Structure 1
Amino acid sequence: MTETTGAFPDFPMARGCPFQPPAQYAELRAEQPVSQVTLPSGSTAWVLSSYELVREFLADPRGSADRTLPAYPSMLPRQPVSSAEAKGLLTWMDPPEHTTHRRMLVNEFTTKRVAAMAPHIQQITDSCLDEMLRTGGPVDLVQSLSLAVPSRVICELLGVPYDDRELFDQRTNVILNHQSSVEERMTAWRALRGYLRDLVAGKVAQPQDDLLSRLVKKYQEAEIFDLETLTGLTNSLLVAGHETTANMISLGTVFLLEHPDVLADFKARPETAPQVAEELLRYFSIADYSTSRVTTADIEIGGVVIPEGSGVIALNSAANHDETVFEKPTEFNAHRDARRQMAFGYGIHQCLGQSLARLELEIVYTTLFRRIPDLRLTVPAEQLRFKHNAAFYGIYEVPVTW
């Protein structure tokens, strides 16, 4: 057993190529897969960079997801979030609280239930593309398709008015942007939570045929209904349900446009959409450090003892580029079996809506290149503004034409 000492590299680490994880990840994985880094705050945290160790740690109940703990490895200055403001945020919970609330939600996202949504997602996608074709290029793909499809899907599923999308899109962007000040993020946080609290209260007063109304009924029948808890759950579902998928639509589209051989193969065999989407998820791993934890006890992993009360970042992007699991991981290969990838996390906090995200990606990629086969960027890819300073990796604007 060893302990790491000395000066630690800064984290987050920059991507040298927008289509690849930071080069330092491979170096860490080869030389010191359990190591320490210095966060923007000046504090230190541990990082795990091998597939095996990331899985092992995320399955360990001694890793807490509670972001209010002082040692949680935040990339941003700490927000003065009160316990009430953090209530109901599923990704911040530990068992048994997390177990209780996840069980209330899991039946809403079964594979069978999500598959039944395919015709409607197809209709939404076609509607967005109809508008793009009617308007004509150039257009920003992010606003016209990448955000539009998952935002409308999650709004209709939850029962959130789609006309209010600008309100929660703008606030979400401020909250997730690392360049926002603490005051800006807290203002956006409280405004979004206030909006969602009013929305949930409306479902209590006048239930409708939507997921939020069903949740209100479930919690009332279980005699555990609490307005703040349902507000936090709604927040978690709304943000996760559109922001991450939107980023993947943009990134995947740009990648395919920049790799015409891969795109030609996909156009010729659109039935490979599930494999293409899965490999893109592995390849980009956009929620790289959302799998962060705090140790609640000493944990020995990879021959290293991580002390109790330490922040740990289980790098899913590094895990998804581990050469011992994925042959030639820096190469995109739609024919590989990428189902073991961990872009959705691992363990009890594995993404609840991953089946929905996969379905949306498959439908959007297939339909976009079928209906607009000559789609192209209007600027070189290197001029695009990638989200290097955001909680989820992506692209701010994708100008395209045809």
Structure 2
Amino acid sequence: MSETVIAVPRTRTCPFSPPPGLAEVRDRAPVTRATFPSGDEAWLITGHAEVRAAMRDPRFSVKVPRALHTKDGVVTAKPGRGSLLWQDAPDHTADRKLLAKEFTVRRMQALRPNIQRIVDEHLDEMERLGPPADLVSSFAVPVPSMVISDLFGVPVEQRPEFQEIAEAVMGVNPDPEVAQAAGMRLGGMLFQMVQERRANPGDDLISALIGTDDPEGVIDDMFLITAAGTLLIAAHDTTACMIGLGSALLLNRQDQFSLLRNDPSLVSTAVEEMLRFLTIGQYGGERLATEDVEIGGVLIRAGEQVVVHALAADFDPALVVDPDTFDITRRPSAHLAFGFGPHQCIGQQLARIELQIVFETLVRRFPELRLAVPVEELSFRDEMVFYGVHKLPVTW
């Protein structure tokens, strides 16, 4: 291991590739010391095997004392039971088990017709209005918003507000007052929804959770509000980013767009390659060692922080041959776009189904789709937790 403390590479020169220098850091030392925007020094883990090892190790906690990716390093108050992102075992294990019952592969597959309907309706409207169109505002954002809102039974008139709230809270350095106000708005809306579902259960996820066998009395109002808020915001923002960014990539790689247009059966492998190539958790997850842990031959002491950099890991040549090449015919890899271990994304099957329907339908319905501006003019979400594109002007 090199003893040099490097500044973690964060600035991209190509919008579809990791920051230059990240591969060199990984190749030189997959576990190394680095400095972060907060000014703190911590461990940076970039190798695929090493990131997987850290993600699955229970000796790493998600409850970190300092926020490495923000300029002030302040860790904001995290929600309690029901928020899987910020929990450790045993609470995390118990709560995930309760929620996982509602995210089975079978239940997610049953959502296909509704997802197809939502996708078709938005593409119908885009076609009706004619070119040019912003694929982000007209398609990439509203489709996952509608899908997850249907799953939770969010009233139609409140759905635009959920989109606004997601924008307010998902920045790397959000305005504290704006983020707090957005969180309060979300909490108030969800409290009303929970009371409504208790009085009038429906065919939605909140009603299903209320009706779950809960001998320990965990699923109270606060649990439901926290779980619903976390899943709504995370599922909406991540999938919207992948649709927008994946579309931009396909349209910038017309050879790959043509492959999918000519052979729709490639959509499954295309989605998996997009997930690997465009791992949108662009800065890496933060962890705290609760005991001494050895990762990749390096001893990480109890009390030291680490960043597990999934984007760097998904471009590791140990994972795939020629990782810098985007190839939708590539055999699906063990990418880390959904994480790994106890905190692996609980909604990954829904995301996969949604992305498969989105890209198969988009390419089929608009076979002549192309960028309306040069890729150099696109504005990307460099300042957000999840990477994506702000606007995507297209024509056909």
Match of 1:301 in 2: 295
Match of 1:240 in 2: 234
1:388 matches 2:382: yes
- The one-letter code sitting in structure 2 at the alignment partner of 1:73 is L
Contact 2:46-2:309 within 8 A present in 1 as well? yes
SS at match of 1:312: strand
- The one-letter code sitting in structure 1 at the alignment partner of 2:345 is C
Q: Output aligned runs, 1:230-309, within 5 Å.
A: 230-289=224-283, 291-309=285-303
1:219 CA drift (Å): 6.0
1:17 CA drift (Å): 0.7
How many angstroms apart in 2 are the aligned matches of 1:290 and 1:162?
Answer: 34
1:188 matches 2:182: yes
1:48 matches 2:30: no
1:65 matches 2:75: no
How many angstroms apart in 2 are the aligned matches of 1:81 and 1:199?
Answer: 26
1:77 CA drift (Å): 3.7
Contact 2:285-2:308 within 8 A present in 1 as well? yes
> Of residues 311, 323, 337 in structure 2, which corresponds to 1:317?
311
SS at match of 1:313: strand
1:290 CA drift (Å): 5.0
- The one-letter code sitting in structure 2 at the alignment partner of 1:56 is A
Match of 1:360 in 2: 354
Contact 1:277-1:358 within 8 A present in 2 as well? yes
1:206 CA drift (Å): 2.4
How many angstroms apart in 1 are the aligned matches of 2:71 and 2:275?
Answer: 25
Match of 1:15 in 2: 12
1:53 CA drift (Å): 0.3
How many angstroms apart in 2 are the aligned matches of 1:81 and 1:227?
Answer: 22
SS at match of 1:198: helix
Pair 76,197 (structure 1): closer, same or farther in 2 beyond 3 Å: farther
1:170 matches 2:167: no
How many angstroms apart in 2 are the aligned matches of 1:76 and 1:159?
Answer: 37
1:205 CA drift (Å): 2.8
Equivalences, count: 396
> Of residues 54, 70, 76 in structure 2, which corresponds to 1:75?
70
- The one-letter code sitting in structure 2 at the alignment partner of 1:355 is Q
How many angstroms apart in 2 are the aligned matches of 1:151 and 1:326?
Answer: 33
Contact 1:386-1:396 within 8 A present in 2 as well? yes
1:393 CA drift (Å): 0.4
- The one-letter code sitting in structure 2 at the alignment partner of 1:101 is D
1:184 CA drift (Å): 2.2
How many angstroms apart in 2 are the aligned matches of 1:331 and 1:239?
Answer: 31
Q: Encode CA deviations 1:121-140: one digit per residue, 9 max, x unaligned.
A: 11111011111111112221
SS at match of 1:391: coil
Contact 1:296-1:309 within 8 A present in 2 as well? yes
Pair 44,185 (structure 1): closer, same or farther in 2 beyond 3 Å: farther
Normalised by the size of structure 2, how large is the TM-score?
Answer: 0.95
1:34 matches 2:31: yes
- The one-letter code sitting in structure 1 at the alignment partner of 2:57 is D
1:105 CA drift (Å): 1.4
- The one-letter code sitting in structure 2 at the alignment partner of 1:31 is R
| Runs of 5+ consecutive residues of structure 1 not aligned to the other structure | none
SS at match of 2:373: coil
Contact 1:378-1:401 within 8 A present in 2 as well? yes
How many angstroms apart in 1 are the aligned matches of 2:137 and 2:241?
Answer: 11
Alignment root-mean-square deviation, CA: 1.9
How many angstroms apart in 2 are the aligned matches of 1:37 and 1:317?
Answer: 16
Contact 2:102-2:208 within 8 A present in 1 as well? no
How many angstroms apart in 2 are the aligned matches of 1:224 and 1:294?
Answer: 26
Q: Which moved more, 1:164-173 or 1:151-160?
A: 164-173
Match of 1:124 in 2: 118
Normalised by the size of structure 1, how large is the TM-score?
Answer: 0.93
Q: Which moved more, 1:311-320 or 1:71-80?
A: 71-80
- The one-letter code sitting in structure 2 at the alignment partner of 1:39 is F
1:183 CA drift (Å): 2.4
1:141 CA drift (Å): 0.8
Q: Encode CA deviations 1:22-68: one digit per residue, 9 max, x unaligned.
A: 122211111111112222221122111111101111111001112xx
Contact 1:291-1:345 within 8 A present in 2 as well? no
How many angstroms apart in 1 are the aligned matches of 2:333 and 2:280?
Answer: 16
| Runs of 5+ consecutive residues of structure 2 not aligned to the other structure | none
Pair 74,93 (structure 1): closer, same or farther in 2 beyond 3 Å: farther
How many angstroms apart in 2 are the aligned matches of 1:162 and 1:294?
Answer: 40
Contact 1:71-1:310 within 8 A present in 2 as well? no
How many angstroms apart in 2 are the aligned matches of 1:81 and 1:216?
Answer: 29
How many angstroms apart in 2 are the aligned matches of 1:197 and 1:76?
Answer: 33
Match of 1:207 in 2: 201
